[in-house]
Homo-oligomer: A and B are copies of this chain.
Amino acid sequence: MPNYTLYYFNGRGRAEILRMMFAAAGVKYMDKRFEFNEWDKYRKDMPSMCVPVLEMDGGMRMPETMAIARYLAREYGFYPKSNMEMMRCDYIADCFYEIMHDYMRYYHWKNGRFRFNIGGGNMMNPGMAGGDTMSPNYDNYMQWRYMNTCHRVLPFLERTLDMHHGGKHFFMGEQMMWCDMMCYCCLENPYTENQAMFSKFPKLMSLRTRVAAHPKVSAYLKSRCNTTW
């Protein structure tokens, strides 16, 4: 087994699915976390200037959350076997990631992070110094985008779960797969912020409870770092 190091901010975010998969597989790894004010120090050494990144044996560094998740899923038995089932698992996972992606952009924007990335100014007034003069209207766009994705994707996922045994097991049957862990991780902050919205998706909510009850996931959830996102 390679020596794995996972690089990400000190938050759950896009990396949490990877941490949960490591835990569910019982695989040890170095969980390298850093704060936002350390990002400039790390960024230039990350393959596409983005995290999460998975490093193997202190050498090669791999970017892209979902590519890393798929690698771990194949390696540690969280992918189904047939091509049709893999496709089902893939589109379920991708749907959850759509929510995660739009939520993260919304959340970080709302909290004023990464705005400084806009080269030579800010996007509304390219000649101005960036960072602190953004219009709050962008928050509306980010929120709309995120909510729109929820309204589009969640009913489909609820129906999809219901298709197998009325949604009483996992998405792919009796075995927990990585798309089930995506359901847990991608909806953590969304659920905490807006429980009313999720009352319309009781099967997805029960699935999250089943994932959290998996012995290794349950132990992980009790011992993990407690962060706000």
Contact = CB atoms under 8 A, between A and B. Distances in A.
Interface in A91-119: 91, 93-95, 117-119
B144 A48 contact: no
A152 B50 contact: yes
B67 A75 contact: no
A41 B138 CA distance: 31
A156 interface: yes
A83 B78 CA distance: 13
A137 interface: yes
A23 interface: no
B90 A156 contact: no
A116 to B, nearest CB: 12
A48 B153 contact: yes
Contacts of A42: none
A70 interface: yes
A94 B48 CA distance: 11
A68 to B, nearest CB: 7
A31 interface: no
A36 interface: no
Interface residues of A, number: 42
Contacts of A95: 48, 63-64
A93 to B, nearest CB: 8
A135 interface: yes
Contact of A144 (B49, B63, B88, B118): B118
Contacts of A212: none
A49 B94 contact: no
Interface in A142-157: 143-144, 148, 152-153, 156
B48 A74 contact: no
A91 B63 contact: yes
Given A117-B148, A123-B140, A148-B117, A67 B90 contact: yes
Interface of A: 47-50, 62-64, 66-68, 70-71, 74-75, 83-84, 86-88, 90-91, 93-95, 117-119, 123-124, 126, 135, 137-138, 140-141, 143-144, 148, 152-153, 156, 160
